[in-house]
Amino acid sequence: MKVTKKLIMEMIEEELQQEADKRKGFSQIKPWDSALVFFDKSLTGTPKIPGGMVRIKAAVDSGWTHNLKKNYQKNNIVLQITQDVIDLDGNIESVPYYININGKYVEPDEEGRFWDVANFILQRKGITDKYANLLDNQGNIVATKKQQNKWSGV
């Protein structure tokens, strides 16, 4: 097989098409109904989401956090995050996830309403994509980064 410019261009187009097929559309779950998206438009003066971070509703699981005993675990916290799940019948549910995170990768709100978490941590769990968009369990976008800023009162 001879490598030609035409063959290379076809391979590139095929690769781009596969990448486009992987990216899906928006979820049927609305952000204001989501258990993951922090939604409070009545707030004003909320700080902007830092770069590389995602704003979510979460709670500290104090039982697990207090059980972290070893020295390398001392700066960690266990966050309970609730992700939206659409089952095969189209029913919408919420499933809790417990994520052990080093404290340097999270920034809590002063009043505990939301948490800003590093995107790469949530991306590994399938909760976000590489563009910091919040996802449902099927990989569809629930809220984009701009929407997270807009709906958290920035």
Domain residue ranges of the chain, discontinuous segments joined by +: 26-151
Closest of 54, 56, 151 to residue 97, by C-alpha? 56
Side-chain half-sphere of 11: how many Cα atoms within 13 Å?
6
Total-model pTM: 0.74
Each residue's pLDDT tens digit, 90-102: 888 888 988 988 8
Each residue's pLDDT tens digit, 103-148: 889 888 888 788 899 999 999 988 998 999 999 888 888 999 898 8
CA distance 100 to 106: 11
Each residue's pLDDT tens digit, 36-68: 888 887 777 788 888 899 999 888 876 656 666
67 Rama sector, left if φ>0, alpha if ψ -120 to 50, beta otherwise: alpha
